[in-house]
């Protein structure tokens, strides 16, 4: 029971870390991560908060897992919906309340905010994936697909980023909104997947020492 509680606490903090990281990337305004670019493009087009759009997209990832896993879909998989909701709440709170009055016209500061956000997201997601207790819907979906296709998780995750960028650009043109895909998006597309693999390799031994994973 203590191990379950520990994993729950770690999972909650990891989701919050990812939410903060995503918010920093959005606030940097130099092109957000591919998945967030998609959320932001849709958000700008239909005037719904980014975090709320994120909830919808992440719940969709859970439904994809349901279709792919069928009878192998467990109750714990459905718990990813709670992760999607918490993540969306954190993003909305950080972006529209905490960071609403924070502005920076310094390009290098904005790039630094983006990189910090990417690192926080990669760390939080890596911890969640490593403890194998619950996962973020997007990463959980990518993990299921990687196992079904027998491909590396990082490669599948990177492919999703590429597709997200394509769709984000499409929505921006359809809704006649400012393009959220910029140099920061490309940076995220190139380094985020590999960072996940790197951090999982670093974090896994630490979690084994704590006997949270075997």
How deeply is 35 buried, as exposed, middle or buried, from its count of CB atoms within 10 A (0-12, 13-18, 19+)? buried
% of the chain beyond a pLDDT of 70: 98
**What pLDDT, in 10s, does the model give residues 39-89?**
888 888 888 999 999 999 999 999 999 999 988 888 878 889 999 999 999
Instruction: Taking residues 171-194, report their average pLDDT.
Output: 81
Distance CA 175, CA 145 (A): 31
pTM (2 d.p.): 0.82
- Structure tokens, 15: 């989701």
Instruction: Give me the torsion for CA of 177, 174, 193, 5, rounded to 10°.
Output: 80
Band the pLDDT of 214: cuts 50, 70, 90. Answer: low
């Amino acid at each position: 029971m203590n191990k379950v509680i520990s994993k729950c606490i770690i999972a909650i903090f990891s989701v919050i870390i990812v939410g903060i990281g995503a918010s920093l990337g959005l606030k940097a305004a130099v092109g957000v991560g591919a998945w967030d670019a998609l959320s932001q493009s849709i958000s700008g087009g239909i005037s719904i908060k980014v975090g709320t759009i994120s909830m919808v997209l992440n719940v969709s990832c859970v439904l994809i897992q349901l279709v792919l896993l069928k009878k192998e879909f467990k109750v714990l998989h459905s718990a990813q919906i709670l992760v999607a909701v918490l993540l969306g709440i954190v993003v909305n709170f950080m972006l529209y309340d905490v960071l609403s009055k924070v502005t920076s016209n310094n390009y290098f500061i904005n790039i630094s905010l983006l990189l910090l956000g990417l690192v926080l997201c990669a760390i939080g997601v890596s911890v969640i994936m490593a403890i194998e207790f619950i996962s973020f819907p997007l990463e959980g979906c990518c993990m299921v697909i990687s196992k079904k296709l027998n491909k590396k998780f990082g490669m599948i995750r990177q492919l999703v980023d590429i597709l997200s960028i394509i769709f984000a650009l499409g929505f921006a043109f359809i809704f006649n909104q400012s393009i959220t895909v910029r140099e920061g998006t490309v940076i995220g597309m190139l380094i985020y997947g590999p960072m996940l693999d790197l951090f999982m390799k670093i974090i896994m031994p630490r979690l084994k020492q704590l006997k949270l994973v075997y």
